[in-house]
Amino acid sequence: MGLAFQGSAHCLRVGLVTLRSSRYNQRTMTAELQPTFYIREIPVYGDLILSPMAGFSDKPFRAICRELGSAMSYTEFVSADGLSHNNHRSWKYFEFAEEERPIACQLFDHDIDRLVVQSQRVVERLHPDTIDINMGCSVPKISQRGAGAGLLRTPEKIAELFNRLSKTLPVPVTGKIRLGWDDQSRNYLEVAHILEDNGASAIAVHGRTKVQAYHGEADWRPIAEIKAAVKIPVIGNGDVRSVADIDRIKAQTGCDAVMIGRAAIGNPWIFQRKDFADVTFAERTALIRQHLAAMVEYYGPHTGIVLFRKHVVKYIKGVPYATDVRLALLTCTTADEFIDLFSQWEERYERDDYQLSAEDAELFAQFESCVAAPAA
C-alpha cells in the first residue's frame, strides 16, 4: 500500500527526496560498470535510451527515465531559429541536470548556417556532451520547409552540415534519421555513409519514412543494414513497446542501443525491462507522486499540474476503477486538489470499495499481478 498523502507540501518533498536519492544510487552504480558503447570519447552505460519527444521528454520526465535506467538523455528538439532570436522558451527546453549526463541537445532547422552558429552557442553556453541534429521529424510544418525529415531530401546539405559541425564543435555530433522521405526514396544507406564520412559519432534510426509518420509497422531491416555498413554506433528506434520488442530489435539489427519513445509514456519502467503489466499498483502510485512533485518544482504550481495531466492519464490507463477518477484528475487546477482526489481514489481502490462493472471485473483479473506490494 502506498503512503497516504498528508498535504501537498509533504507529498512533493517525499517525491523529490526519492528522486535525488535514486540519482545518487545511479551514479554510484554507473561508476562500477563498463560502458556499453561510446559516442566518440563519451561512455554510455546501458543500451536503452529515452527518445526525444516534443512535449514529453522535458527535464522532469528525463530525470525519471534516467533514474529507472535510460542510459543518456536527449532534450526535446529545439528550433535553431528560436535560439537565434533568444526565445526564452527555446532555451528553457535545453535546461538539464548534471545527473543526466551524457546529455544531447537536439536542434532542427533547414538553414545550415543557422544550425552551425546556434549549435556553437549551445555548446558555449550549456556545455552538453553532444549535439544531435533532428532529421526525423515528420510534422508537415517542419519537414515541408526542409527541416527534420525534410533534410533527407537534400543529402548534400546533410554532408555540409555535419562536415562543418564536426570541424567546429569540441563535442561529438550525432543525428537521428528516418528511412527516407517515402518508399520511393529510402536513402538511409546513403545518408548513413554521409553522416559517418562527415564526422558524425552516432546515428539513431527510426524504422519508418517521413510519409509514414507513425502509421504502419516500423521496418527494422534497414537498421540492420546501416549497422553493417558503418563503424559508428547505431541506435534502433520504432515500435519498441515491450521487453520482448527490445530483445527482438537487438537480435534482428545488432544495434548498439535501443531508443524508446511513446512506449515510455506511462511506463518509464520499460527502462528497467519491465512491461506495463508487471508494474505494481504501489510502484505506479509512488511514481505518480514523484513525477508530480518534479513537475511542480520545475514549472510552478499551475503549469506543473496542467502539463502533468497528459502523463497521469497514461500512468492509470488500464487500472480498474480509473474511469471513475480520470476526468476529475484531468481537470484539477492545483496540486492540493489533485493530491486529495488521487489519495481518495488510491484508498478506495486498496479497500476494493467500488462496485465492479463487467468491464472493470475483466480489467481487475488482468491486473491482479499489479496490486501486490513489491517484494521487500
**What CATH number corresponds to the domain at position 79?**
3.20.20.70
Q: Are residues 267 and 182 part of one domain?
A: yes
Q: Which three cell numbers stand for residue 262?
A: 511513446
Domain enclosing residue 313, as ranges: 1-33+281-376
Among 222, 238, 272, where does a domain finish?
Answer: 272
Determine the pLDDT at residue 353. 55
Cite the active site residues.
137
Confidence of residue 303 (pLDDT cuts 50, 70, 90): very high
pLDDT of 240 > 70? The answer is yes
In whole angstroms, give the CA distance from residue 331 to residue 263: 24
What pTM, to 2 d.p., does this model score?
Answer: 0.85
Q: Are residues 199 and 60 part of one domain?
A: yes
Q: Are residues 150 and 46 part of one domain?
A: yes
In whole angstroms, give the CA distance from residue 130 to residue 73: 10
The 10s digit of each residue's pLDDT in 307-343 is 999 999 899 887 766 776 778 888 888 888 888 888 8
Among 227, 248, 272, where does a domain finish?
Answer: 272
Q: Are residues 117 and 49 part of one domain?
A: yes
Q: Are residues 229 and 286 part of one domain?
A: no
Q: Are residues 308 and 194 part of one domain?
A: no
Q: Are residues 374 and 244 part of one domain?
A: no
The full 3-state SS of 340-375, as one line of letters, equals HHHHHHHHHHHHCCCCCCHHHHHHHHHHHHHHCCCC
Q: Are residues 253 and 229 part of one domain?
A: yes
pLDDT of 103 > 90? The answer is yes
Among 219, 238, 272, where does a domain finish?
Answer: 272
Q: Are residues 150 and 116 part of one domain?
A: yes
Q: Which three cell numbers stand for residue 356?
A: 465492479
Q: Which residue has the cell 483479473?
A: 365
Q: Are residues 179 and 168 part of one domain?
A: yes
Determine the pLDDT at residue 1. 32
Q: Are residues 246 and 288 part of one domain?
A: no
- Per DSSP, 74 falls in state E
Q: Number of folded domains in the chain?
A: 2
Q: Are residues 113 and 24 part of one domain?
A: no
What helix, strand, coil percent values describe the chain, rounded to 5?
Answer: 55, 10, 35
Share of the chain above pLDDT 90, in %: 73
